[in-house]
Amino acid sequence: MEASSGSTAVSEAYFAQLLGLPFIAVMARTTSQEKIDLIEQFGGSCLLVEHASDVYAAAEEVAATCNGHYMDQFTYAERATDWRGNNNIAESIFGQLQLEEHPVPDWIVVGAGTGGTSATIGRYLRYHSHPTRLLVVDPENSAFYPGWRGGTDGVPAGLPSRIEGIGRPRLEPSFVPSVIDRMVQVPDAASVAAMRHLSDLAGLHAGPSTGTNLWGVWQTIAGMVAEGRKGSIVTLMCDGGERYAGNYYNQDWLAVQGLDPAPYEAVIRRFFDTGRWDPGVA
């Protein structure tokens, strides 16, 4: 049993099938149909609830009812790997950069879904005394950004995220604010604009959370250029755009959601033309 926004559940359904175990994913009804189809293709079942904030209790209840095991990624993601260095994502980043001109990145830019990725990377950077700073980008209305600004004493209530895979209506237990150097709130339409720009620029068809990452990357590059600094910046391509053909790549769906990426696409174009970042005109 798992509560998920979809991508983790796809992987878990795959491995559950290899192990011969039944698998149920509890997700919000707004989850893309492509993700649901993948989970079912791998032999899993999907229980859809009305609101993202309902997935936790529903997964616990179903697990108790069918004598199953609720894996609870939102609690355990931050401790799922050895963040000191044991084939974790941070170690892989530094390994892949070894032969680059700037092998130690100035910044690593990631979003937060469970908080596990940022917790692993941030702890790794501090454990190994790297000067690299960690920027976490967060969709509008998510609880992570206000939680980072205000600390964990008063847990803020957010809203369900319109960017699948990142942003949460609550401050998840796996989110570790103390290892984050900076956070940026990204408008949802800006995430879509950056996702589409990546496709046009590099021919890489990614999902919207990759767009959220890139919006933070462009801001960071603009800041470094303005300061006359050179260096490397790392971000993640989270998943493929084929999972979002029916929503984020569908103009009619965007219109229903009230998402207009055009002004933010103009911001990105101006940045590439001039090297200056001016999101205020979006």
- Three-state DSSP class for residue 135: strand
Q: Band of the pLDDT at 155, cuts 50, 70, 90?
A: low
> H helices within the chain, ranges in order?
7-19, 33-41, 55-65, 73-76, 89-96, 116-127, 144-150, 188-202, 208-226, 251-257, 262-274
Q: Using 50, 70 and 90 to split pLDDT, how confident is the model at 87?
A: confident
Q: Which of 5-9, 116-120, 143-147, 270-274 has the lowest mean pLDDT?
A: 5-9
86 confidence band (pLDDT: 50, 70, 90): confident
* pLDDT at 157 (0 to 100): 64
Q: pLDDT value at position 80?
A: 86
CA of 80: how far to CAs of 59, 76, 77, in Å? 19, 6, 5
Residue 3, beta-bridge partner list: 26
Go through 122-160 and write b for each residue having 16 or more CB atoms within 10 A of its CB, e for each that does not. Answer: bbbbeeeeeebbbbbbbbbbbbbbbbbeeeeeeebebbb
- pLDDT confidence bin for 158, thresholds 50/70/90: low
Residue 94 burial (CB count, 10 A)? 19
- Position 161 scores a pLDDT of 84
- What is the pLDDT, as a whole number, of residue 85? 81
The answer to whether the CB of 125 falls within 8 A of the CB of 91 is no
Residue 281 confidence (pLDDT): 59
pLDDT at residue 81 greater than cutoff 90: no
Instruction: Write down all domains in the chain, each with its CATH number in brackets.
Output: 2-71 (3.40.50.1100), 78-281 (3.40.50.1100)
pLDDT digit string (tens) for 206-263?
999 999 999 999 999 999 999 999 999 999 998 898 888 889 999 999 999 999 999 9
The answer to whether residues 173 and 56 touch, using CB atoms and an 8 Å cutoff, is: no
**Dist CA 182 CA 159 (whole Å):** 21
